[in-house]
A and B are shown apart, each in its own frame.
Chain A
Amino acid sequence: MKIIEINIFRQLRLLLYIFIFFNLLNVAGILIFRTSWSELYSQLGFVVLLTLICWLFFLFVKIVYRFIRKRNEPRISI
C-alpha cells in the first residue's frame, strides 16, 4: 500500500497563489467590463469558491500524476 504525504505548507502556498491569481482576475474583470470596485469584496465568495475548485483540481491532477510516475515508490509526497 502506498502512503501519500501531503505537505501542508506547500499546499497553503499553492492555495495562496491561486487565491491571488483569481483576485487579479477579479481586478481584470472590473477594469475590462468597467464594473464597480465594490466587486473586490462583493465577489470574494465567488473568488474563494474558484480558488478551492482550482486547488482541488490541482491536487487531484498531482496525485494522479505522482501515482503513475512513481509507481514503485511506497511513499508519495505531494
Chain B
Amino acid sequence: MNIQNRTEQSRRNFLRELALGSSLLLLSAPWLKAFASGEKESAEKNNTVSIAVIGTGSRGMQLLSYLLRIQQSANIRIIALCDNYQPNLEQAFGLCQKSDVSPKTYADYREMLANEKPDGVIIATPLTEHAFIAVDCMQAGIHTFCEKAMARTCDDVKLMYDAHRETGKVLQIGHQRMFNPIYLEGMKRIQEGAIGQIGQMRAYWHRNNNWRRPLPDNNPALERQVNWRLYKDLSVGVLTELMTHQLQVGMWVLDKVPESVVGTASQVFWKDGRTIPDNASLIYSFDNGVQFVYDSMTSNRKYGLEEQILGSEGTIEFETNRIFSESIPPAPGIRQLIHSIERGVFEHIPIGGASWVPETAVKYDGTKLMADDFYEDSQFQLEAFAGFIRQGSIPDRMIREAYYTSIWTLLGETAIDEGRKVFLPEQYRIS
C-alpha cells in the first residue's frame, strides 16, 4: 500500500469514525452521513456515477483534477466537459486524456444537456452564470454541484434554492471547509464546550496581489471574461470570492443565521480600472449578541487568512489548526524558579518602572486540533457529492447554510453600498 493510499484510508476511517462515533458531530455536520453510511454506500457503490463539468477555467480545472484522482476510489466517470472558451476546453480535455479519459466536449451547456444525461454536474463558471445553469441542470433531473458563492443576486440565489426544493435534486455548494477534518474536529470541540461561551468571531483574508489574470494573446476583448472577479456587475470581489467561505464557518459555529450586517469598503491600492473595492470590513451580528467581525484586503499579506473563534475558555484558529486555552498551563517549576531568581536580581536595579504594561497578545502556541495541518478538502467535497448522488439527497442543513451564506454575503454588499444596517428581507427567509 503506497503512502497516498494509506493517507486516503486513514482519512476515510477518520471521517467514518467521527460520524459513527459521535452524535454530537453528526449534529454539527450531518453531511458526514455521506461518508458514514458505509453499508448503504458500499452496496450502491457498484453504480458508476457519471459526471459532467461545466466551466473549465482555473477552478474548474482544479476540480477536474480531483475528479480524475478519485475516479477509481469513488467510482466516478467523467462523461462530458463544457466551456464556451475553446482553449480552456482543450486544456481540460488534454488533462483527461492523460488519465485515459475521453469525455465529450461542448461549447454550450444547453447542447450538452440535450445530448448527455449525467448523474451529476459540476458548475465552475463565473458567478453570474451559476444560477441559470444550475436551475436548468436541476430541472433536467441532474444533481448539481456549484461553486460558491451561489449567485450574483439574492433573487438568483433564491431561484437556485427553489429549483432544488421543487426538483428534489441535490444542490451542493462548494464550501469545502465543511469536509475538512480540522474544521470537523474544531466544531466537535466547540459543541463539547472546550472553548466555553463564544463571545466573538473574527475572520480575515489578506492578500498582496492584483488578482488580475493575464489575457490570452493580450486580447482586451477577453478582459471581462477572464477577470470577471474585478467587475462589480459580475462579482462582489473579496466578499463573494473570499469572505463567503469564512462567513459559512461563522454560521456553522453558531448554527445560526445573522440578524444584521454593517460594512464599509473602498478602493485604496489597486486603481487599475476595476470596479470592485480592494478592501472591505463588515460586522455581522447574531441574535445572541455574538458578532462576526470581518476584514479583507489585497495589498498586504502579513496576516494571511484566519477564522478565530473567541470563547470564554479558549480560542480556536481553524486555518492554522490550533486551539488555545484561556488558562495557560504554567511553565515547569524549574523554569519558573530560574525566571524568578533572574527577575529578583534584575528588578532590584533601580532603573525606574513602567506605570502601565501594554495588554499585548499572550504568546502561547496552543495545541493542534488535528495531527496534520493540511487536508484536500476540495477533493473530499467531491467524494461527498458522489455519495449524495447515490443517496439521491443532501442534508437539509448543508444547503440551508450555503443558501444563507450566499444571501448574507450579498446583503453585506448592500450594507456597504447603502451605508446602513441591513436586515434579512422577508422574501429571502426560508422555512
The reply to whether the CB of A11 lies closer than 8 angstroms to some CB of chain B is no
Which of chain B's residues have a CB closer than 8 A to the CB of A29? Answer: 332-338
Total number of B residues with any Cβ neighbor in A under 8 Å = 8
Which of chain B's residues have a CB closer than 8 A to the CB of A47? Answer: 334
Rounded to whole angstroms, the CA-CA distance of A34 and B336 in the bound complex is: 11
A46 contact from B330, B334, B336, Cβ within 8 A: B334
Rounded to whole angstroms, the CA-CA distance of A30 and B331 in the bound complex is: 11
* CB proximity of B248 to chain A, nearest CB, Å: 41
Which of chain A's residues have a CB closer than 8 A to the CB of B332? Answer: 29, 35, 39, 42-43, 46
The reply to whether the CB of A61 lies closer than 8 angstroms to some CB of chain B is no
Q: Are A32 and B335 in contact, with the CB atoms below 8 A?
A: no
When C-beta atoms are compared, the residue in chain B nearest to A26 turns out to be B334
List residues 326-364 of chain B with CB under 8 A from any CB of chain A: 330, 332-338
Can you list, as one digit per residue, whether each of A23-50 has a CB less than 8 Å from chain B (1) or not (0)? 0011011111111000100110011000
Which of chain B's residues have a CB closer than 8 A to the CB of A25? Answer: 334, 337-338
- How many interface residues does chain A have, given as a range? 10 to 19
* SS class, residues of chain A in contact with chain B: helix
Rounded to whole angstroms, the CA-CA distance of A32 and B330 in the bound complex is: 13
When C-beta atoms are compared, the residue in chain B nearest to A39 turns out to be B332
List residues 269-311 of chain B with CB under 8 A from any CB of chain A: none
* CB proximity of B345 to chain A, nearest CB, Å: 15
When C-beta atoms are compared, the residue in chain B nearest to A47 turns out to be B334
Which of chain A's residues have a CB closer than 8 A to the CB of B336? Answer: 29, 32-33, 35
Which of chain B's residues have a CB closer than 8 A to the CB of A22? Answer: 334
Q: Are B335 and A46 in contact, with the CB atoms below 8 A?
A: yes
* Given A33-B330, A35-B330, A28 contacting B337 (CB threshold 8 A): yes
Rounded to whole angstroms, the CA-CA distance of A46 and B332 in the bound complex is: 10
Rounded to whole angstroms, the CA-CA distance of A47 and B333 in the bound complex is: 12
Which of chain A's residues have a CB closer than 8 A to the CB of B338? Answer: 25, 29
Which of chain A's residues have a CB closer than 8 A to the CB of B330? Answer: 33, 35
* CB proximity of B389 to chain A, nearest CB, Å: 52
Rounded to whole angstroms, the CA-CA distance of A19 and B330 in the bound complex is: 24
A/B interface sample: 29 pairs, CB < 8 A: A22-B334, A25-B334, A25-B337, A26-B333, A28-B333, A28-B337, A29-B332, A29-B333, A29-B335, A29-B337, A29-B338, A30-B333, A30-B334, A31-B333, A32-B333, A32-B336, A32-B337, A33-B330, A35-B330, A35-B333, A35-B336, A39-B332, A39-B334, A42-B332, A43-B335, A46-B332, A46-B334, A46-B335, A47-B334
Chain A to chain B: the 3 pairs with minimum beta-carbon distance, closest first: A29-B333, A29-B337, A29-B334
